[in-house]
Structure formats: C-alpha cells, structure tokens
Amino acid sequence: MNRFIAVLLLSVTICSAVLGVAAAKANQRIVPHEPIMIQLKPGATGKTPRVETLKIESLMTTVWERVPKPGSNPTAQGEFEQGEIMGVFLNFSYVWSPPEEGKSWSGNWEGVIQEEDEYLYFNAALCAHFVATLTLYDYAGKLVAESDDFRLSRGGGSAKVTPEVTIEIARRGYCVYASYGWEPGTCTLKARIEELLTGLVDTSEIVVTILVGPPPEGPNPISIHPKEMIIGSDDLPDGWTVVAEDLDLETIEGYGMSIRYLRKPAGTFSKDVQVHIIQYGNVEVAMEYFEGKLEGVLSSEKYGSGKAVILDIADGAFLNDQAERRALAWHGWNDSIGRATGSYVVFRKENVIVHVGATYNLEALKEGIYATNEEVLEFAEVQAAKISAKVSEEG
C-alpha cells in the first residue's frame, strides 16, 4: 500500500500508538529508533497475547489536509475532482486475548508498519500481523487504484482497558491522487483488514463520486528536480558530512522530493541536521503549505511549544525555535526514546518548499551538544542560494 516504513511504540498497557513516517517510495528503511525497555511489573505474565476479534469500525473518504492541524479530526467528503487528492480514513478495532488470572499484559510493546503490513511485538515475540489493503473500482468494475497507490499519511490509536478485556482502536489515514485517467462517475472504495496469525478478516466498502477536474496544470515555475538543487558535500561547512540521503522520492501528485541527512562529530556524540526539499505543482499550493506550517507553529506557540521567528529568506521563511526541548527538564524527554525534532527553518522559493531542521539527542544535550539555531539558519541560507543559482543556470 503506502510505500512508507513507520515505527510504532506502544505504551505499557497498550495505550495510544505513536506513528512516525520515515522514508518513502524507492528507498525504504526503518527510521532509527530506540524502543523504551519497560521492566515487567510484579505478577506480569510471560504468555504472548493473541487477537481474538477484528472489526472495521469505519471507512470514509475525507478532505485532504496538506498540513493537518494538531488534534484535528478528518472531515468527510464524498466527491472529488480529477487532479485532487482524496483522503481516506480507516478505523479498525481488535480485542486481545485475556492474560492469565491475576496477571496483566505489561511489558515492552513495539510495532512496525512496512507497506501494508503492520507487526506488533510483545517482549520481542510477534503477537499480531495485520495486513490492510485499499482498492478503488470505477462504475464499470475496473480497478483504478490499488494498494500501492495509497499512501499512509497519519495514524494513531487508543485503548480501552478493563480487568476483563483490552480493546484497541487503530486509526489510519491514507491519501490517493485522483488521476485524470479516472473516468468520472461513481466509484467503489473497498477496505480489507486481516490478521495473519489467526486468520481473522473483515471488509467494508463505500461509494465515492469522481467529477471532471480542471485542465492539468502547465509547467512549474521551478521544474528542476530537487535532487539537482539540494546541498551536498561541496556546500557544507568544515566538519559536516552527508551520512544518508533519499534523492528520488515523489509527492503524492508525482512531483519530486529529496532528503539529505547531515552530521558533524562532536566528541562521542554528533550534531545532526536534515534537509528536505519538496516540489509542488504550482506556487499557490506551495504557499498554502507554507502558510499552514506557520499557522501551526503560531498556534503551538500559544501553549508554550516552540517560537516562530520570521526570516528574510527567498519568498518567505520562518524559524521554529524549540528552546524548551533543549532543556533537560522538558516533559517530552520523560517519555521519549531519546531523540526529538529540534529547531527548524521552513522557506519557500516559488513552488518549492525547503525544511532544514536539527535533531536533538538527549544524551548529547546533557553534554551541551546539538545543532544550534545559527547552524540551522546557515544551512537554510546556503540551500536558498543554491536553489537560486540552479534556477539562474536553467535560465
């Protein structure tokens, strides 16, 4: 399905799952992570839980939010134009087998999503293997979108725990591009969820309408692929190197994306920065994304998370200063796996969006080691200059 790999960490009593999307499409890999090792409580069982029931709770098509607002719920939408992005929201529930009498399912829970497969582990033992598939058929029964066309865009979950039963609710958001090759008319979206260890299966389907869309967009202001514009080894300050990259990625609409991970050793630790370039179909869409990101930062700032600083870079830029995360007393370090998103710069150049951000490491922070705001800003300015130079070369 979605060509992403993500990591889920589940809490001690199978509470909310945290979904993180790592890489996409051509170069799949699990994002580096350090699962929280939880000591089993006295009386905890060594038995492996199993799924006893499985049910699709809801399936709906939704408005696609390019920048989802924190805590926002999907809005149902049943009609989509050609050239539009269709959101799909799938909820399914499952019930775990009860533990031994007087025991509890306490321990180290970990999950991994790889394409349409979702694996859940309890104390390193596989206890569930879910496979979710989405397909879309037109009015004549022709398959117009299959699993590989749908991308995972958001996710999470919750749990209802009682002495008698533990019920998990999994929430998955997907998106798919409504191609101009799709015939206008009524389509059927089908969802199927299966748990392979037990053979449990459930299915659901809904109807969605495809409308004639506006003419396809013309050439982009900047049509150079991001991999030709992203900064590389020759552009970096002394001591910095490229340690990983994904250069041939694509947006859901088929435009280019490129990512590079940069590092500078510092004692036994390192400073880490990620540069991410996204090409959009036109300036308006890029502006919508930029303004949505800035709005989200300003909203979070009201609650003491981050601080927006407007910058003079390209066609608009801001720094989100994550000062509170550089403090060892930050509440997030209590529950985290030792790493967190640090300060970052977002800027727009025509139809191109660039993210330049630091990653904080708790153990390195204890030694005062992290990529500073000044270093992040320097990379952003170097990246902006390189994009301008490439555009000028192309004439």
233-245, pLDDT tens digit by residue?
999 999 999 999 9
pTM equals 0.67
**In a shared domain, residues 150 and 65:** yes
Report the DSSP pairing between strands 352-361 and 269-279: antiparallel
Task: Report if residue 274 sits inside a domain.
Answer: yes
| pLDDT at 71 (0 to 100) | 62
**In a shared domain, residues 170 and 248:** no
Range of lowest pLDDT (49-58, 70-79, 99-108): 99-108
**In a shared domain, residues 206 and 268:** no
Average pLDDT score over residue span 67-85:
82
CATH of the domain at 20: 2.60.40
Q: Among 181, 211, 241, identify where a domain stops.
A: 211
Residue 339 has pLDDT above 80, yes or no: yes
- Selection from 238, 252, 178 nearest residue 209 by Cα: 178
Task: Report if residue 101 sits inside a domain.
Answer: yes
**In a shared domain, residues 373 and 238:** yes
Task: Report if residue 218 sits inside a domain.
Answer: no
- Residue ranges in 243-321 assigned as alpha helix (H): 283-301
Give the domain range for residue 145.
4-211
Query: Sign of dihedral through CA atoms 210, 215, 217, 219?
Result: positive
Residue 390: enclosing H or E segment and its boundaries?
Answer: helix 373-394
Average pLDDT score over residue span 362-390:
96
Backbone torsion region of residue 187, taken as left when φ is above 0, otherwise alpha when ψ lies between -120 and 50, otherwise beta: beta
Q: Among 148, 181, 211, identify where a domain stops.
A: 211
Confidence category of residue 20, pLDDT binned at 50, 70, 90: very low
**In a shared domain, residues 42 and 164:** yes
Residue 3 has pLDDT above 70, yes or no: no
Which has more confidence, 194 or 282?
194
Residue 67 has pLDDT above 80, yes or no: no
Task: Report if residue 221 sits inside a domain.
Answer: no
Task: Report if residue 216 sits inside a domain.
Answer: no
Range of lowest pLDDT (11-20, 162-171, 289-298, 335-344): 11-20
| pLDDT at 154 (0 to 100) | 79
**In a shared domain, residues 167 and 235:** no
Average pLDDT score over residue span 221-247:
94
Q: What single DSSP character describes residue 234?
A: G
Distances (CA, A) of 71 to 68, 74, 155, 289: 8, 10, 12, 18
| pLDDT at 15 (0 to 100) | 28
Report the DSSP pairing between strands 269-279 and 308-311: unpaired
Confidence category of residue 87, pLDDT binned at 50, 70, 90: very high
Residue 165 has pLDDT above 90, yes or no: no
Report the DSSP pairing between strands 125-137 and 18-24: unpaired
Cβ atoms of 146 and 116 within 8 Å: the answer is: no
Task: Report if residue 233 sits inside a domain.
Answer: yes
**In a shared domain, residues 285 and 311:** yes
**In a shared domain, residues 43 and 88:** yes
**In a shared domain, residues 146 and 82:** yes
Average pLDDT score over residue span 187-210:
96
- Token couple for 239: 């001591």
**In a shared domain, residues 306 and 348:** yes
**In a shared domain, residues 126 and 265:** no
Cβ atoms of 55 and 202 within 8 Å: the answer is: yes
Confidence category of residue 27, pLDDT binned at 50, 70, 90: very low
| pLDDT at 146 (0 to 100) | 93
**In a shared domain, residues 298 and 334:** yes
Q: Among 184, 211, 238, identify where a domain stops.
A: 211
Q: In the predicted model, what is the mean pLDDT of the chain?
A: 83
Residue 214 has pLDDT above 90, yes or no: no
Task: Report if residue 219 sits inside a domain.
Answer: no
Count up the domains in the chain and report the number: 2
Cβ atoms of 130 and 121 within 8 Å: the answer is: no
Cβ atoms of 137 and 177 within 8 Å: the answer is: no
* 270-308 confidence digits (pLDDT tens): 999 999 999 988 898 899 899 999 999 999 898 888 999
Task: Report if residue 77 sits inside a domain.
Answer: yes
CATH of the domain at 240: 3.40.1000
